[in-house]
Amino acid sequence: MMMNSMPVAPLLGVPFEPFSQTHILTQRYYRRQLVDDVAGESVPADASYDDIVFVSDLPLPARVLRPGMSLPKGLLLPSDTLFFIVDDDSIITLVGCAEGRR
């Protein structure tokens, strides 16, 4: 089941397979705000720690794609790379992997 209609495959350069609503990673990360603590971003004052996830806490290997970003063509990623797609407000809208890699 797709969580939204965002065309993700062109961003990744690979067929993308979002995890279902019942997948444990979807349940853990979907609709939470991503805070890039690695880059020094601080937690918004109005955010609840139950509603955020830090980049440093994402399982590895992971790639975060923000609006307007795409992966370079020909980039080789580990076969178990997880993708976290976020919207303009840094809310995680999709969690998944390359098609056939589950």
C-alpha–C-alpha distance, residues 14 and 22, integer Å:
23
> Which of 65, 58, 76 shows the shortest CA–CA distance to 7?
65
> Which of 61, 50, 101 shows the shortest CA–CA distance to 84?
61
**pLDDT tops 80 at residue 66:** yes
Q: Write the pLDDT tens digit of every residue in 8-64.
A: 656 566 667 889 999 999 999 999 999 999 999 999 999 898 999 999 999 999 999
C-alpha–C-alpha distance, residues 80 and 102, integer Å:
8
Compute the average pLDDT of residues 54-81.
85
pTM of the model: 0.81
Q: Tokens standing for 15?
A: 């067929």
> Which of 10, 8, 2, 7 shows the shortest CA–CA distance to 84?
8
